[in-house]
């Protein structure tokens, strides 16, 4: 298995390790970072904000964005990234899908073409309770590229805590496809908490199945997994 599994039960140490991995990538010449959002990433970005790392010569490209809410909306991923990272640690260039595009499918196609012109040195990802990565829900083909997705109810429910009600949670998103994610030179997966146990146990079981999208990373030659769960022992 190409996965390097690091079980760190102390979350403070786990996130310190995550920041160290990013710092090492930067030191070793990484210029393009694939970034993720969500609650899992908050402590990671806090460490990056408070570090002496300089990303001003780098570019970032985000995994996904909701469809149908303005960039200025507090829960858009544009707003999230500004608050959590970019305001304190500016990058030379940042890319996030435009969820307000008139032609959402064309926006997804354009984003994929952009990604094909880049080499992502380090792609940071989390994992959903149902095993989704990005917004690639169970059943997404592994050869998928950037696309528009209908969000599973379980995913909307998991994200409802960030909105006033589940009715406000968007029903669609633009997301990098699984094959898009797998083009990165290195993948850093962070999985925290019991709700992620199903996904992590499925991953470490070693069976590759489109019904559990995270298992797609078993096909990748360079993956680091940080988790606080006792799995795979």
Catalytic residues: 64, 130, 132, 137
DSSP string, the chain: --EEEEE--SHHHHHHHHHHHHHHHHHTT--EEEE--SGGGHHHHHHHHTS----TT-EEEESEEESSS-TTSTTSHHHHHIIIIITTS--SEEE---TT-SSHHHHHHHHHHHHHTS--SEEEE---TTS-BTTB-TT--TT--SEEEEPPHHHHHHHGGGSSSGGGS-SEEEE--HHHHHTSSEEEEEE-SGGGHHHHHHHHHT---TTSGGGGGGG-S-EEEEESS----
Cα–Cα distance, 120 to 33 (Å, whole number): 6
Task: Calculate the alpha carbon distances from 38 to 124, 135, 153 in Å.
Answer: 12, 11, 16
* Among 30, 34, 210, CA closest to 132: 210
């Amino acid at each position: 298995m190409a996965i390097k599994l690091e079980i760190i039960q102390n979350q403070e140490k786990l996130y310190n390790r995550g920041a160290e991995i990013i710092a090492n990538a930067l030191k070793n010449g990484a210029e393009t970072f694939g970034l993720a959002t969500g609650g899992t990433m908050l402590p990671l970005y806090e460490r990056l904000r408070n570090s002496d790392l300089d990303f001003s010569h780098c570019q970032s490209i985000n995994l996904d964005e909701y469809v149908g809410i303005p960039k200025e909306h507090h829960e858009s991923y544009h707003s999230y990234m500004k608050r959590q990272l970019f305001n304190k640690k500016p990058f030379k260039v940042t890319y996030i899908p435009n969820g307000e595009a008139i032609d959402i499918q064309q926006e997804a196609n354009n984003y994929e073409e952009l990604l094909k012109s880049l080499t992502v040195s380090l792609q940071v990802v989390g994992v959903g309770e149902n095993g989704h990565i990005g917004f690639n829900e169970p059943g997404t083909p592994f050869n998928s590229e950037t696309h528009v997705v209908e969000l599973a109810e379980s995913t909307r429910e998991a994200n409802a805590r960030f909105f006033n009600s589940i009715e406000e949670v968007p029903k669609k998103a633009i997301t990098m496809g699984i094959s898009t994610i797998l083009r990165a030179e290195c993948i850093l997966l962070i999985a925290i908490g019991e709700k992620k146990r199903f996904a992590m146990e499925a991953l470490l079981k070693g069976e590759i199945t489109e019904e559990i999208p995270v298992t797609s990373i078993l096909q990748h030659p360079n993956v680091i997994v940080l988790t606080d769960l006792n799995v795979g022992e």
